[in-house]
Structure 1
Amino acid sequence: MTKRLLTFFLFFIFFLGNTYAQKLVGARVVDYITNIDIAADSLLKVELLAADSSFIAEGWAARMGNEPKYKTYAEAVVEREGSYIMRVSHPDYYTLYAPIQIKFYRRESNILLGKFALKRKLREKTTELGEALVTATKLKFYFNNDTLVYNADAFITQQGFVLQNILQKMPGLTINNDGEILSNGRKVETLLLNGKDFFNNDRKTLLENLPAFMVKHVKVYEKEKDTTSLFERERELKGLVMDIRLKPDYHSNFLSSIDAAAGTDKRYYGRALGLKINDFHRWSVFAGANNTNHNEELTRNGQFYNIDNGIGQKDFYNAGVLYNVDEREGRYSLEGKARIQWSKEDVDLKQVVQQFYDKYHIFQLGTSSSSSRNFSFQTEHSLSLFSTTPWSFTIKPSFSKVTLKNHSENSGASFDRNVSHLLGKAWSDSIRLFSLGETLNAYGISHANVLSFAPSTITNAKLEIEKSIDIPHTDDKLTLNASAYRACITQEDFSLRHVDYIRNAQKQSQHQYRNEDHDKWTWTAQANYLLRWSDHHSFSGKLSYECDQLNSSDQFYQLHHLPGWTLQSDVEKLPNNDLLQQAKDSRNSKSYQEWGNNLVGELGYMFQKGKYDLNVSIPLRYLHRKLDFFQKNNDQTVYRSQFFPDVNVRFATWLGGQTGYNYSFSYELKHEMPMMLLLVPQTNDINPLSVEQGNPELDNITQHKINGRFYWAPTMRHNHTVNMNYTYTDGLTSSMSLYNERTGVTTSKFRSVNGNQYLQASLEDAVFLTPRYTHKLTNKISFNYTKSVQYNGLSLQEADKPSTVHNYYFIEEINYSFAIPNTKIRGELAPYVHYHRSTSIRENFKPLHATTFGSHVSVYAELPWSMRLQTDLRTISRRGYNDESMNDNEFIWNANLTKAFSNKFSISLEAFDLLGQRKNVVRFVNAQSTTESIYNNLRQYVMLHLTWSLNKR
């Protein structure tokens, strides 16, 4: 009994101590008109008064965050509950007396009082000073505590410069083609404009369109999370930040530009942009048309980004609008975009596939030509409403629709050896025209020609609602999320196929039609609670539920079975419905319904102290899926239920300044189920040369991922970066392929494989050779390794044995860059070597060796009369490819000469691939085969651009 009373007494004393301990109270101090924080200097005075205005204690002004996003707080310590007055004074403002009522809560150590808005006093007198002329050298950059500040004017050396031109001149900064920015080798996580992140996802628009003369400073600093930001999306921003600060006269500005161009080879390019920016709004409209493979997406900062994959010859026509609106007081935040596009795409492909078998290897030579016409509309929005009230929420609607019409012609042949060297460089024409003669008869296995037309429509719609609730008198937060998603896919495929089985002296002709319809609904609900136990320790709990339903129909029709339907029939023509049903291929046609339930409970722990950051989460997932499959004489029901304990661990340190070191490590364990349709025991032989079979014995997929990074900058001029990524996968869904060497038919049964691995490691060293950062040398050594495991063979015995191929990639890249004098002349020399070796212990496998080497030389020069010359020469040499036509050398030379007549008008001459040697070659190796592909691309051209820009305040 005594022990119980003592325990109760100690608990009571502890409770009282925590209940009535002193508390820190604070409030934001801002200008009443501009809503900008008042500087936290010695002029700002804070005092705590009793309710009767008697003095109790001095307070203080505190600054949180880095410039320019700092926040000023008036703070004081309160010893007990009650009524008080906080007096805040500043010589330039009227003194504010703010009555406050303080009540203590157990888990509330700091009490936030909201915002104190001070009214500025009117200036009584203005003294006009005489003019003074000061001549000085512009300071290029300096440090303000841990913030690196560049003076933008010091890097403007010509008219017509935009933001990207001056960033490329700034010591220590690197701008990549995709908009990635590096500062002394470290990735800039967030790009801000006047402290706002409107353009972080659309960097290239800002980089290429913001006039340089509007920029005052460029600041680079380390940012911590800011839980006091008015806008929720900005609270989680963390890491290395670049903030573009505009001159005061340009905080509200309208930008517009028109770029029109025409050139040889009937090339044209046109683009128009209108961009309205200020501290709380971003509005952008754009339109474009070109046949130079520029599928341009506009970023929120006004930058155009080419999202094309670089293959084929394409025409694009698009237009769109983007917007971002933050209400000054934080009551709402809106952002969104809409885009419409039409495109014409022509792609030619020539491909050599070497399939690995014990007896001998099979070589497949193929060629294809496709022409597609595509139309798309996409729109997405995020609306955060009533943000300063308890009724705040965020709604995110999105919608997209894509229609495609693709015509293609494919030809291919299989051989028991590599015959590309016997057929010459024009072997693709021989295969397409079926004129192989003795070579085909001597070494050929099969030959096929396929003519097809495939129209399709893809529609997606999603609505997501999110609600965040700050738990009163704590730092805890509850987040609720619900969403509904629907995806509809309709696709048709009209095809004419002719197959020659060379060794059997047989032929097969097919006129086929396929009609697919897929309709999928997905509903999700999620609750996430974040408990901030102390300044350094937090816990989280998440519960989510997702259910989905898929209705699919996949119908096949053999039209050549109908009287009068042959390979000479119109490929896009269909018979009436009665005749169509007579041609139905019931053995391959199918329909199915699939349901899924995914319940996840997740526990998490977070530790943050100083530069250390630890995150641990354990998602516990229960998955249940069911599929009802309907096919003639093969109705099936398959289902699978599984409990998956996953793991996510991440530890990282942060770099406090521009020198020092940081590192990170992460581990992820993830489980997945295979696709339910693959579990159905079915056979699909709609393509006579490729037969697929399901497998109800497929395993679940288990994947381990390990990532590590170490960065060390002993000085501002020298840094080292080490990266490592490793992935190990068991249960990966692949196939066991059995190849019939008499007919060329591949029968594939889906099968789970274990032991696939991927390792990537790199070491990069960068050093500035001169104190003025004008010469830089970078060396990067990379090693990649893949272990690919699959099953294939010419017999069941061989196909049942795992085939393992080890791929080793060694990459050496050296880059020397310079900038002289005053960065008016810049250049780089970048030699490289990529070596690829493939090995295997399977019989008849000889190690494969492929090497690609070359260099990249570029020069940028600012010439007299506001002219700029930019030229680059890239050399590429390939060795070790099966297709001899790929073992060659390329010299790719591009050039651009620009003349700026003012900050508004410029003219430029662009020359693309002057020597006409550019190719697009891709090589891929796995456990079953080596694939070498070469695509068509743009031919050489010369184009004249006229660019007009308007900047209006």
Structure 2
Amino acid sequence: MNRFFALLITVFFASNFAFAQEKSVTIKGQIVERGTKLPIIFASVELFHEKDSSLVTGTVSDDNGFYEIEKVAPGNYRIVYSYISFKERSKKIKVTSDSAVVDLGVISLKEDVEMLSEAVVIAEVAPVIVKEDTTVFNTSSFNVSEGAMLEDLVKKLPGAAISEDGKLTINGKEITKIMVDGKEFFTDDPKIALKNLPANIIEKAKAYDRKSESARQTGIDDDDDETVLDLSVKKGMKKGWVGNVFGGLGNKERYDFGGIMNRFDDDMYISVIASANNTNNTGFSELGDANVRLGNAGSGITTSRMVGATFAKEYSNLELGGNVQYGYSDNKAERESASETFLSDGSSYGRDTTRSRHKRDNLGVNFRLKWKPDTMTTVTFRPNFSYAQNDSESDGVSLTLNNNLDNVNRKSSSSLSEGENYSVGGRLQFIRKMKKKGRSLSLSANLTYSNSESDLFSNSRTAFYFYDEDDEFESDSISMLNRYTDRGNSSLNYNLQASYTEPVFRNHYLRLRYVFQQRKSTSESFIYNNDDQSLIDSLSSDVDNRYNTHQIEVGLQGQYPKMNYNIGLNVSPQESKSESFIGTNKNLDQSVVNYSPNLRFRYKFSKQHSLMFRYRGQSSAPDVEYLQTVIDQSDPLDVKYGNPDLLPSYKNNVTLRYNNYISSSQRSYIANASFANTINAITNRVYYNPETGAKETHKVNIDGNWNTSALFTFTTPLKNRKYSISSTTSGAFANSVGYTSLKRGADAAESETKDLMLSEKLSGIYRGESFDITLNASVDYEKTKNNLQTKNNSETFAYLLGGNTNITLPWSINFSTDANYKIYSGFADGFKENEVIWNAQLSKDFLRNNAATIRLKIYDILQQQSNLRRTATESMITDTRYNTLGSYFMVYFVYRINTVGKGAMSDDDDDDDKFKRGGFGPMGGGFGGGNRPMR
């Protein structure tokens, strides 16, 4: 650690010395649109030697149209400015050593009103541009099928991935918010934008770390970032309403109806969305607390209905925005799983089959207001409300086998539950910048109240099989349970925060912050025997929890032209109290002090070439629930206990990020690496009864839990810019430690599972005038080793070979198809079938201006799709498969509405034609295929 700080100090002073000694010529200026004078973002600026026209260097303009080219040697040059759909400009310049800066002033580009050939457009557009921590994707470089949604486009972006539960990550970082032209779109629900925004209205998608409201207003980083995806709408889609209505019917009683209307302008947008389908397109995230539901709404077959509206409006000193959404979903899931549990003298195996149905109604309302009474003051207010009702039912059969594959127990169970929950809250923030640069004051208050209630009826029949010393079947016994559970939870959480920043010496700022937080919660679970309606005290609980936290933070920030850093310490004294009024749990009081140091260092080689290092330590006390003697013993085969002797945990997180974009070749490189380990991690100590197959799980502290990951993304067009390739290489390793024991109270064996995951994804794209094709290949490798059962270590491979093509035919006919061949190896028996997923669609545009489309879609033509996944913990491996929609076809009618005036349309090279040809299509209508770039 001392060597690390010595190295950091050396780099700090060496960098400052280099900055002081560096005397090079810098060329700068600004690029704007002729007429509107609006800045052009990411315009290309290239510097050539005048003598031989060889390229010297290049850059792109920033969010305000400004650019800088550093370290230019004296000489004669020609500088060229270009941007898609604008006429190229160039000028000769002479650079001398007389001045350190050559300011070329404002350069205006004129739109090219003549239609450019598609080949020229492709040659000018870089698929990916990287600048510091911002990654910009030019959507015209990524082909999607006609009618595709944003989700289909995002799946094609290098470094982007959407998980099984719908979470979007780009370059390994989760996207928490999607914005449209810098304005929030349905607040904190990225799924709505992914599943409902048409891909063909998006010109650029920009992923970056968005600073907090306080940091954006004061310019002083508070290390409270969130990763967002900001979408730029094509200018041809503005100044009017654009949208569609559609309807589709298919075999197997499939249907899909809906519509979306959008109005985008420079200072406002409005979007209204509605849909109803039984094709697994919910179009939104579930709202509120989902703890009262059973089943997995993310798997199986879902029927859904939703309606929502969102808006944002900017005035001279006021910004308003908000959204309201209602959704209904009915999910029917069939689940099969095979698991292996690692024990000290063998393994236990499990098989499980479950059918479930989960119905849910959601209502969510969010509003945001930002008021700037003057240039130095900002007030924001964000109230929110959500409400949900849940109805669930499930039944299933599970089987446990011992190491000899003899039956140990067989359980059949069923349950029925219903419940509701709601939440209301708000955040008020006041930010004041002072006259002295860097001095600011921020005050905020947060309040959230939530409540949930549910009723659960459950019954089960468990048969236990007993064997003699020679493993011969001896006898069995039956356990019957018939219970009713009445649950209720409520919580009140508020915090008050004050933050102050002060410039202390040149390029350095001191940040002080204090937060007081109080959380009160009540948890009730009354369990009754349905046979005689008697309360089971030993299983019931009624607990009040109280938390008081004081958070004190001190930080120092240094800002230089090429380097900036943050270093700070967070100290949080915390008091918690738990009172139990029924059952076996005891009253608990706990006082701890949590420490969280942090360090972030960023070095900018240039505006498009940077390196970032971050360290964050975090101390956290165990949840009061984990300190209770009994957590849950409603299932006699899986009893969970807490531990009043749990210690606080301390987690170390290290992140390294490298970005580089070479404008002359339009190549981008992105590399991320991370490492995390936890001291006194809270894990499970499992006592397994080999005679009954039942297990008891206790919470304990342990060392040895750590993980690391890395990701590298490379994107480049080839010499002929109609071709481009991208590669994403990633790897992760996790070391998970727990305890297992075959005898209660005996010394437990340490179960250590090492899980290695490697992945490589390659993609090649060809874009022609009436034809495009994308080829994909990937391999995912996972190796899991456990120290207790080395002979049962597993290796799995999942290969994918696939591609998609889009063909524009005469008479306004479009054809798209995609196919993926998936090969599975190493999974449990019955869970490793290979599959070929082949989809196709054919569409015909008609009516005036091709305003209508008839489209035929066929899904899973070969009827081979499965839904397979693997999970690994410190003591278990599980393979799971869910039911899927299977093969079906749909016939759609789509009618496009477009009130954008012709004058506005000319702003973007006839985007009206793009709009008509690309189509909005049914929500989620893409296959992940591609459509050719529009002219």
TM-score interval, smaller chain: 0.7 to 0.9
Tell me the distance in 2 between the aligned counterparts of 1:289 and 1:881. 37
Match of 2:400 in 1: 414
The secondary structure found in structure 1 opposite 2:626 is helix
2:712 aligned residue (751, 757, 763): 763
Compute the displacement of 1:333 (Å): 0.8
The secondary structure found in structure 1 opposite 2:680 is strand
- Per-residue CA deviations over 1:173-212 (Å, capped at 9, x if unaligned) read 99877898989x9999998866767699769859976796
Compute the displacement of 1:405 (Å): 0.6
2:736 aligned residue (788, 791, 806): 788
Tell me the distance in 2 between the aligned counterparts of 1:726 and 1:585. 46
Please say if 1:856 is aligned against 2:827: no
Match of 1:630 in 2: 581
Please say if 1:806 is aligned against 2:751: no
Match of 1:269 in 2: 256
- Per-residue CA deviations over 1:361-420 (Å, capped at 9, x if unaligned) read 11111111111211111111111235438885221111111111101002111111485x
1:323 aligned residue (284, 305, 311): 311
Moved more, 519-528 or 799-808: 799-808
Please say if 1:367 is aligned against 2:367: no
Tell me the distance in 2 between the aligned counterparts of 1:220 and 1:545. 35
Match of 1:647 in 2: 597
The secondary structure found in structure 2 opposite 1:678 is helix
Please say if 1:311 is aligned against 2:261: no
Compute the displacement of 1:220 (Å): 8.3
Moved more, 513-522 or 199-208: 199-208
Residues 763 and 775 in structure 2, CA contact (< 8 A), matched pair in contact too:
yes
Compute the displacement of 1:337 (Å): 0.7
Go from structure 1 to structure 2 and tell me whether the alpha carbon gap of 1:187 and 1:535 turns closer, same or farther (over 3 Å shift).
Answer: farther
Question: Which residues of 2 match residues 91-130 of structure 1 at below 5 A?
Answer: none
Match of 1:334 in 2: 320
Compute the displacement of 1:449 (Å): 1.0
The code of the aligned residue for 2:481 comes to Q
Please say if 1:260 is aligned against 2:244: no
Compute the displacement of 1:818 (Å): 2.1
Residues 341 and 348 in structure 2, CA contact (< 8 A), matched pair in contact too:
yes
Tell me the distance in 1 between the aligned counterparts of 2:622 and 2:226. 36
Compute the displacement of 1:809 (Å): 1.9
Tell me the distance in 1 between the aligned counterparts of 2:312 and 2:687. 56
Gaps of 5+ in 2: 1-34, 41-59, 68-111, 287-295, 467-474, 901-935
- Per-residue CA deviations over 1:629-658 (Å, capped at 9, x if unaligned) read 2235x4622111111221122222457556
Please say if 1:940 is aligned against 2:911: no
Go from structure 1 to structure 2 and tell me whether the alpha carbon gap of 1:200 and 1:410 turns closer, same or farther (over 3 Å shift).
Answer: closer
Gaps of 5+ in 1: 1-33, 40-64, 73-131, 300-307, 420-442, 563-579
Match of 1:488 in 2: 451
The secondary structure found in structure 2 opposite 1:842 is coil
Go from structure 1 to structure 2 and tell me whether the alpha carbon gap of 1:298 and 1:278 turns closer, same or farther (over 3 Å shift).
Answer: farther
Moved more, 804-813 or 694-703: 804-813
Please say if 1:296 is aligned against 2:286: no
For CA contacts below 8 A with separation 6 or more, give which structure has more relative contact order.
2
Compute the displacement of 1:595 (Å): 0.7
Question: Which residues of 2 match residues 77-96 of structure 1 at below 5 A?
Answer: none
Go from structure 1 to structure 2 and tell me whether the alpha carbon gap of 1:657 and 1:162 turns closer, same or farther (over 3 Å shift).
Answer: farther
Go from structure 1 to structure 2 and tell me whether the alpha carbon gap of 1:150 and 1:552 turns closer, same or farther (over 3 Å shift).
Answer: closer
2:337 aligned residue (346, 351, 356): 351
Go from structure 1 to structure 2 and tell me whether the alpha carbon gap of 1:317 and 1:742 turns closer, same or farther (over 3 Å shift).
Answer: same
1:662 aligned residue (604, 610, 622): 610
Match of 2:920 in 1: none
Compute the displacement of 1:790 (Å): 0.5
The code of the aligned residue for 1:506 comes to S
Match of 1:99 in 2: none
Tell me the distance in 2 between the aligned counterparts of 1:794 and 1:158. 55
Please say if 1:834 is aligned against 2:780: yes
Compute the displacement of 1:558 (Å): 1.2
Match of 1:887 in 2: 832
Go from structure 1 to structure 2 and tell me whether the alpha carbon gap of 1:756 and 1:252 turns closer, same or farther (over 3 Å shift).
Answer: same
Question: Which residues of 2 match residues 277-292 of structure 1 at below 5 A?
Answer: 277-292=264-279
Go from structure 1 to structure 2 and tell me whether the alpha carbon gap of 1:235 and 1:637 turns closer, same or farther (over 3 Å shift).
Answer: closer
Compute the displacement of 1:870 (Å): 2.0
Please say if 1:596 is aligned against 2:543: no
Moved more, 270-279 or 711-720: 711-720
Go from structure 1 to structure 2 and tell me whether the alpha carbon gap of 1:724 and 1:895 turns closer, same or farther (over 3 Å shift).
Answer: same
Please say if 1:876 is aligned against 2:822: yes
Residues 173 and 181 in structure 1, CA contact (< 8 A), matched pair in contact too:
no
1:378 aligned residue (351, 360, 364): 364
Compute the displacement of 1:952 (Å): 1.1
Compute the displacement of 1:452 (Å): 0.6
Tell me the distance in 2 between the aligned counterparts of 1:353 and 1:153. 42
Tell me the distance in 1 between the aligned counterparts of 2:382 and 2:674. 34
Residues 138 and 205 in structure 2, CA contact (< 8 A), matched pair in contact too:
no
Tell me the distance in 2 between the aligned counterparts of 1:639 and 1:890. 56
Question: Which residues of 2 match residues 55-204 of structure 1 at below 5 A?
Answer: 69=64, 140=121
Residues 767 and 777 in structure 1, CA contact (< 8 A), matched pair in contact too:
yes
Match of 2:511 in 1: 540
2:696 aligned residue (718, 726, 747): 747
Tell me the distance in 2 between the aligned counterparts of 1:712 and 1:617. 28
Tell me the distance in 2 between the aligned counterparts of 1:889 and 1:635. 50
Q: Aligned residues, how many?
A: 771
RMSD: 4.4
The secondary structure found in structure 2 opposite 1:887 is coil
TM-score (norm 2): 0.74
Structure whose alpha-carbon radius of gyration is higher: 1
Tell me the distance in 2 between the aligned counterparts of 1:341 and 1:228. 33
Tell me the distance in 2 between the aligned counterparts of 1:133 and 1:748. 70
The secondary structure found in structure 2 opposite 1:919 is coil
Go from structure 1 to structure 2 and tell me whether the alpha carbon gap of 1:457 and 1:679 turns closer, same or farther (over 3 Å shift).
Answer: same
The code of the aligned residue for 1:638 comes to L
What is the identity percentage for the equivalent residue pairs of Structure 1 and Structure 2?
17
Residues 160 and 903 in structure 1, CA contact (< 8 A), matched pair in contact too:
no
Residues 739 and 749 in structure 2, CA contact (< 8 A), matched pair in contact too:
yes
The secondary structure found in structure 2 opposite 1:695 is coil
The secondary structure found in structure 1 opposite 2:703 is strand
Please say if 1:730 is aligned against 2:679: yes
The code of the aligned residue for 2:247 comes to A
Go from structure 1 to structure 2 and tell me whether the alpha carbon gap of 1:232 and 1:543 turns closer, same or farther (over 3 Å shift).
Answer: closer
Compute the displacement of 1:553 (Å): 1.4
Question: Which residues of 2 match residues 414-563 of structure 1 at below 5 A?
Answer: 414-417=400-403, 443-503=406-466, 504-533=475-504, 536-560=507-531, 562=532
Residues 668 and 704 in structure 1, CA contact (< 8 A), matched pair in contact too:
yes
Compute the displacement of 1:598 (Å): 0.8
The code of the aligned residue for 1:855 comes to L
Tell me the distance in 1 between the aligned counterparts of 2:216 and 2:36. 12
Go from structure 1 to structure 2 and tell me whether the alpha carbon gap of 1:533 and 1:904 turns closer, same or farther (over 3 Å shift).
Answer: farther
TM-score (norm 1): 0.72
Match of 2:570 in 1: 619
Go from structure 1 to structure 2 and tell me whether the alpha carbon gap of 1:590 and 1:203 turns closer, same or farther (over 3 Å shift).
Answer: closer
- Per-residue CA deviations over 1:713-759 (Å, capped at 9, x if unaligned) read 45524343332111111222222111111122212222122211111
Go from structure 1 to structure 2 and tell me whether the alpha carbon gap of 1:908 and 1:657 turns closer, same or farther (over 3 Å shift).
Answer: farther
Residues 757 and 786 in structure 1, CA contact (< 8 A), matched pair in contact too:
yes
Tell me the distance in 2 between the aligned counterparts of 1:758 and 1:410. 35
Residues 356 and 845 in structure 1, CA contact (< 8 A), matched pair in contact too:
no
Compute the displacement of 1:264 (Å): 1.1
Residues 544 and 600 in structure 1, CA contact (< 8 A), matched pair in contact too:
yes
Compute the displacement of 1:157 (Å): 13
Tell me the distance in 2 between the aligned counterparts of 1:221 and 1:737. 43
2:387 aligned residue (401, 404, 409): 401
Tell me the distance in 2 between the aligned counterparts of 1:866 and 1:313. 34
Tell me the distance in 2 between the aligned counterparts of 1:741 and 1:870. 56
Residues 222 and 656 in structure 1, CA contact (< 8 A), matched pair in contact too:
no
Residues 359 and 844 in structure 1, CA contact (< 8 A), matched pair in contact too:
no
Tell me the distance in 1 between the aligned counterparts of 2:729 and 2:408. 44
